Structure 1
Amino acid sequence: MKETQSPWLYLFNRGEEYQAYRRFGAHEIAPGRWQILVWAPHAQAVAVVGDFSQWEAVPLKAIAATGCWQGDFAATAGQLYKLQITTPTGAVVEKIDPFAFAFEPKPGTAAKLWDLPQHDWQDAPWQAQMQAEPVYSRPLNIYELHLGSFKRNPDGSYLSYRQMIPQILPYVKQMGYTHIELMPLMEHLLDASWGYQLMGYFAATSRFGPPEDFLAFVDAAHRLGLGVIMDWVPGHFIRNTDTLAQFDGTATFEYQDPHRADNVRWGTWNFDLGKTQVQSFLISSAMYWLDYCHLDGLRVDAVSNMLYMDYDAGKENDRNQDGGRDNLEGLAFLKKLNTAVFAAHPEALMIAEESSAYPQVSAPIDTGGLGFNYKWNMGWMNDTLKYFAMDPYARREHLDLLTFSWVYMYDEQFILPFSHDEVVHGKKSLMHKMTGDRYNQFANLRVMFVWLMTHPGKKLLFMGGEWGQFLEWRDYTQLEWVDLEDPMNAGMQTFTRTLNKLYAKTPSLWTQDHDPAGMQVTLGSGPEQLSYIRWGQAEADCTIVVLNLMPLEVQHFRVPVPAAGVYTIVLNTESQHFGGTWRRLQRTLKTTGVPAAGQPDSVEVVLPAMGALLIEPKLRR
């Protein structure tokens, strides 16, 4: 890099360079010739070492008043390299390149000389569609994936990115999902961390193949009509001494104060989010995945850890300079991140995994919000799972676990998540959480999924939940696909696919997710049944939802409806087709002329035991 290119460094040091990956790290500047740029502001010296030099040091030159070092050398793409840094104390340590695009397979930590991965993108129609359609008023039904354990080869080895294209993407599409959400694919060492303790902020993990193959995976998803979101972890990084920790011999990426740097909860180091160079580094990482790799969005992990001074264990009394709990640097960083992302990608999904009641997480920055466009609704998730785990006769005093969400469901733009975190570490799988014998567990699961798909908010389900896998998720082996030989599991999978496709083609279930006009409760004061109407934007566009939360069939159940006419039952969770017991189904309903629950008319149905019905107007009188 030449001195005449210093504007890049000026912006980087100001925290305003959002494509730093284009200049930092190693890039091939001519055939067989590579150039490298490194930020190590307190180093006495920096060199690059690798198999291209028999691991002998090739010194880099300091760029005055920038904290950066540069140099070039002869090498071949794919060769391994590390940085050799002489710290302020004179110690010589080897470190990764923070901007590397590829790494050697674990347990090694050397980067590979790999320039920006190349791909001939064929997803222009998808990109145009996403830019043309407002994100809030379209269906969003996310399938959360851990690529290392969805399926594996017969010998237990990982599928490659290329193998995943035919083995994962068509299945997700056929199941009726709109997007996949990938647990972090940035390079990480420990499989059991699931990618949340990472080191390579610009490198798709080598576990599944080279970076170009990951781009092919994204492109294939888009051409199939699937969006791709990835979990992204800007709050903290792994402790390993040859990665980012004490990078130049001082606290470079982490806080200088060891107490603030130490993330006790996850055994990692917290990024110093107030440091301008760290802001450039992290926002450039976000831009790399969104811009260069064509991802449709990022689910930002552990936002609460960046919002509060006292979030972590042992920090209960930590306060900011004003005496408050807020992490002022974290708040400013998140606003800066979202401002930068939406300036470049207004159609992007920026999703906060935030577990507290911090206000306006998904509100615009100019109105006092953090600027995300979605937030996970962890309260809804916890209350729902607690309710459905109860014996039905114990639920009578606890309907508020479901209805309490109605109090705050428009406070944020929510995604309703049944994520991987709820099916590990002894929490049991979704199906195993359900109460009763095996038949009733599936009946409860079907009703809970109707609650998910008809409650205001977008949707997320972790893999395996769609067919009621009994075992908890295990990251070290593939899902229990053998389950589908059981008619109950196969029926559950059919039910989920049917419900997903019904959701996608029913505007009343998603066009007004974030508008109070989108839902009207018609019957919810009793402890055993719920009835509500989801409204679309078009006149008379509605779906009536009825949930029976008890294992007792109800004859002549009166369902309030908004107008006289003929109605159709479009879904009955107790259909034999789904694993239920009903062979003959009610289809067409005529209004009775009897008002009910504030509605001008009603229909009578047989309400299945521990079942749910979805009803739509067929025609009007």
Structure 2
Amino acid sequence: MKESYQAYLPEYDIYLYNTGEAQRAYEFFGCHYIPKLRMHRFCVWAPNARSVSVVGDFNGWDIEKNPMEPWKNGVWTAFIPGLADGDNYKYFIYGYDGSKVMKADPFAFHAEVRPNTASKVWELGGYEWHDSSYMKRRLKKNILKDAVSIYEVHIGSWRTKEGYRFPSFREVADELADYVSDMGYTHVEIMPVAEYPYDGSWGYQITGFYAVTSRYGTPQDFMYFVDKLHSRGIGVIMDWVPGHFPKDEHGLAKFDGTHLYEHENVLQREHPQWGTLIFNYGRPEVVSFLVSNAMFFMDKYHIDGLRVDAVTSILYLDYARDGCFVPNEEGGNIDGHAVEMLRRMNSTVLTNYAGAMTIAEESTAYPMVTKPPYDGGLGFTFKWNMGFMHDTLDYMKMDHYFRQFEHNKISFSMYYAFSENYILPYSHDEVVHGKKSMVDKMFGDYWQKFASLRALYAFMFAHPGKKLMFMGDEFAQFIEWDYKKQLDWFLLEYDSHAGMQRFVKDLNHIYTAYSALYELDDSWDGFRWLNVDDREQSTFALMRMSGEEAVVCAVNFTPVVREDYRIAMPQRGSLERLICSDDEIYGGSGVMPDKKLQTEKLALNGMPYSVKITLPPLGAVYYRFTLKSKGDGKR
């Protein structure tokens, strides 16, 4: 290797990578143009390979023309002139086991459209961002105290264009930004967009962790997507998948002829349910690869948050193994190396990008998921509340009569509501694989299904915790989600679906307008049950509070109108109706409680006051509560 090249191979970067401390390994590894040399530098970690060469369009895929040289600690390098953005390439690796395989670049920024699998030479510069004011505002935000209403989207099936196999990031961005802003959502969460070979995995089986999928355009097109949403004040959360990767030959599997990224022990290597490989979190270089990957999307694409997929499968050594697993050093089932990787990722991302968030999809009672690492926690900002989701959906599937016997399915979540910082998710996982769509899960006839779903959404928005809804749920898509086609937008021609969309829109705007509904999601200071034990009538009433502001929500989960239904109130005051799910404009029956109400000095449920409300069938109503005078009792 020429001595002049060595100045462009900083040893410290390799040291950080080898020790698991790298945070921006993408600045060194992969393919980068070096202006002073007028060459592209290629760097790949393949410590056990017998030889490596760069092959591509530019050399006729000849393994002899551009051999790589071993540099330091398992890193191979090459400098090649005359390349341009869009040139296809791979690494030809003569592996330790004698295998000869062409691998995609683990750090490539772009790739061919599937089914082709080559990496592409590509620079990430050239896009002019316009979101500086948005990013400055984000720095000052305390996301835990903010309204967060997330619209989960699969880019390829939200809305497609005639004549296109895949929509482009730019096309989707222009329409999605307008739609989400109008609907009142605060964030968009996109299902994985890192490069993946199999459409049916929805992006959850990744081969190119640093390459935004070419299905929808270029890296710069994705930058436009994020920038456009930021221009409307909408945050962008991205699903991130550090739990596993597929066995495709061009991917990370057995990368240098050894189990480099995955576990060597066969009992730890594979996910039995998914047929994928598990990262070896005990290998420092793997930690560097993953932490740098999380940082990459925050750095280069201005992402506002990462929702980490399948955290349960990452944490538990016995996940889906029917008791056959390799225990940790203490004989337990927690992967300590995975715990440390997650802590490092969260600490690194959240200390470098103030105002950003990380979200754990974790379905067990693993402790302190959203507590800081210095207190023994994992360090996530939020955790999905899977218990709330399962309990409420189980309840809503139930015959109205039998709900009285399962009353606690609605109230139980408040026993642990403040143990973590929660997001209440009705995600894509709940509308596939025979689970039915959200509206079709609801018990009853056609009208009752829609009424029930409106009531459920109203309860969710009043319950402590941030909100998440999958695309199509907002207008009651009636069939299950199909990634191969766009949502059934034609349903908006029907009053019941248009009414549902209007209701969700108004619900979002009320949610973001009243801090009582979101500011104190983490303590009893922001929540109080008013009626919680009326199981015979399947009704609930609660109050959300913040400072002097309060919102009352009452829900009737039966098809029976409750005339003059009395709700306990802690203080004397007046109530002004904000929204009623049974309003005819939403497709309701038109049973409307009074617009304004006054509390009465009549004790109920241990509170000195109460108020009479007409509760609509399978309906919910919000009231703004105003005190008549200060100091009259305590909240």
Q: TM-score, normalised by structure 2?
A: 0.95
Residue in 2 that maps onto 1:38: 44
Tell whether the 8 Å contact from 2:593 to 2:614 is kept in structure 1 after alignment.
no
Take 1:36 and 1:187, find their aligned partners in 2: how far apart are those partners? 20
Farther-moved stretch of structure 1 (454-463 vs 604-613): 604-613
Matched, 1:5 2:13: no
Code of the aligned partner of 1:473: W
- Counterpart of 1:56 in structure 2 is 62
The whole-number CA distance in structure 1 between the counterparts of 2:232 and 2:275 is 39
Deviation at 1:156, TM superposition (A): 5.5
The structural deviation recorded for 1:617 is 2.1
Give the partner amino acid of 1:66: N
Structure 2 residue aligned with 1:529: 539
Name the counterpart of 1:105. 113
SS of the residue 1:461 aligns to: strand
- Residues 221-620 of structure 1 mapped to structure 2, 5 A cutoff: 221-527=229-535, 528-536=538-546, 538-539=547-548, 541-582=549-590, 586-618=594-626, 620=628
Matching of residue 21 in structure 1 with residue 26 in structure 2 = yes
CA contact (8 A) 1:15 1:277 kept: yes
- C-alpha distance in structure 2 between counterparts of 1:583 and 1:259, whole Å: 60
Partner residue in 1 for 2:73: 66
Displacement of 1:562: 2.9
What are the ranges of 5 or more consecutive residues in structure 2 without an aligned counterpart?
630-635
Aligned residues of 2:111 and 2:117 also touching (Cα < 8 A): yes
Q: Which residue of 1 aligns with 2:632?
A: none
Task: Give the secondary-structure state (helix, strand or coil) at the position aligned to 1:8.
Answer: helix
User: Does structure 2 conserve the Cα–Cα contact (< 8 Å) formed by 1:544 and 1:561?
Assistant: no
By how many angstroms is 1:566 displaced?
Answer: 2.1
C-alpha contact (below 8 Å) 2:571/2:627 kept by paired residues: no
> Root-mean-square deviation (CA), in Å?
1.4
Q: Deviations over 1:41-67 (max 9, x none)?
A: 001111000001111124444344410
SS of equivalent to 1:47? strand
Task: Name the SS for the 1:36 alignment partner.
Answer: strand
Counterpart secondary structure, 1:311: coil
Post-superposition offset of 1:561: 2.2
TM-score for the superposition, normalised by structure 1: 0.97
The one-letter amino acid of 1:577's match is: I
String of CA shifts for 1:566-604, please: whole Å, max 9, x gaps. 211111110001100117652111222223222332221
Residue 343 of structure 1 and its aligned partner are, at CA, apart by 2.0
After TM superposition, give the deviation of residue 326 of structure 1 in Å: 0.7
Deviation at 1:314, TM superposition (A): 4.6
Query: Of the candidates 208, 219, 222, which is equivalent to residue 211 of structure 1?
Result: 219
SS in 1 for 2:155: coil
Report the alpha carbon displacement of residue 212 of structure 1 after superposing the two structures with TM.
0.3
Cα displacement (A) at 1:317: 4.4
Residues 589 and 603 in structure 1, CA contact (< 8 A), matched pair in contact too: yes
Please give the per-residue CA displacement for 1:249-297, whole angstroms capped at 9, x wherever unaligned.
0011111112211111111110111110111111111001011210001
Q: Comparing 28-37 with 275-284, which one deviates more in the overlay?
A: 28-37
Letter in 1 for 2:444: G
Contact 2:149 2:185 (C-alpha < 8 Å) held by counterparts = yes
Match of 2:155 among 140, 147, 156: 147
1:91 Cα offset (Å): 3.1
Q: Distance in 1 between matches of 2:367 and 2:67?
A: 47
Partner of 1:168: 176
Q: Which amino acid aligns with 2:460?
A: L
Specify the SS of the correspondent of 1:126: helix
Identical counterparts, % of pairs: 39
* Rounded Cα–Cα distance in structure 1 between residues aligned with 2:251 and 2:592: 63
How many pairs align?
Answer: 619
The superposition leaves residues 144-176 of structure 1 with CA deviations (integer Å, 9 ceiling, x where unpaired) of 000000011123622111111222111011111
Maintained 8 Å contact 2:111/2:214 = yes
The separation in 2 between residues aligned to 1:418 and 1:215, in whole angstroms, is 27
Within a 5 Å distance, the mapping from 1:53-132 to structure 2 comes to: 53-57=59-63, 58-74=65-81, 75-132=83-140
Of the structure 1 ranges 280-289 and 108-117, higher mean CA displacement relative to structure 2 is found in 108-117
| Structure 1 residue 318 displacement after superposition | 3.4
Q: Which letter maps to 1:298?
A: L
Indicate how the Cα distance of structure 1 residues 379 and 316 shifts in structure 2: closer, same or farther if over 3 A, else same.
Answer: farther
Take 1:79 and 1:218, find their aligned partners in 2: how far apart are those partners? Answer: 26
Query: What SS does structure 2 have at the residue aligned with 1:218?
Result: helix
Displacement of 1:193: 0.2
SS at match of 2:576: strand
Question: In 2, Cα distance between the equivalents of 1:557 and 1:222?
Answer: 45
Is the Cα contact below 8 Å between 1:560 and 1:597 reproduced in 2? Answer: yes
The CA distance in 2 between the partners of 1:582 and 1:461, in whole Å, is 26
CA distance in 2, matches of 1:455, 1:584: 22
SS at match of 1:167: helix
Deviation at 1:336, TM superposition (A): 1.3
Bigger drift between 76-85 and 338-347 goes to 338-347
Indicate the SS of the match to 2:157.
coil
What are the ranges of 5 or more consecutive residues in structure 1 without an aligned counterpart?
Answer: none
- Provide the C-alpha distance between the structure 2 equivalents of 1:571 and 1:545, rounded to a whole number of angstroms: 10
Residue number in structure 2 paired with 1:178: 186
Do the aligned partners of 1:182 and 1:228 also contact (CA within 8 Å) in 2? yes
Distance 1:78 1:239 in 2: 26
Native 8 Å contact 1:239 1:268 kept in 2: yes
Write the deviation string for residues 2-53 of structure 1: whole angstroms up to 9, x where unpaired.
2661111111111111111111101111386211011000011110000011
CA-to-aligned-CA distance 1:518-547 (integer Å, 9 cap, x gap):
1111111111111111111x12x1111111
Q: Secondary structure at the match of 1:403?
A: helix
Q: Which moved more, 1:28-37 or 1:516-525?
A: 28-37
Q: Does the Cα contact within 8 Å between 2:174 and 2:228 map onto a contact in 1?
A: no
Distance 1:445 1:422 in 2: 14
- Equivalent residues of 1:309, 1:315 under 8 A apart: no
Code of the residue aligned with 2:77 in structure 1: it is Q
Give the C-alpha shift of residue 76 in structure 1: 1.7
Distance 1:157 1:130, change over 3 A: same
The question of whether the paired residues in 1 share the 8 Å contact of 2:52 and 2:92 is answered with yes
| Alpha-carbon distance in structure 2 between the residues aligned to 1:470 and 1:156 | 25
User: Matched residues in 2 for 1:89 and 1:165: separation?
Assistant: 46
Q: Which residue of 1 aligns with 2:633?
A: none
Q: Deviations over 1:458-489 (max 9, x none)?
A: 00000000011110000000000011111000
Taking the aligned partners of 1:2 and 1:586, their CA distance within structure 2 comes to 78
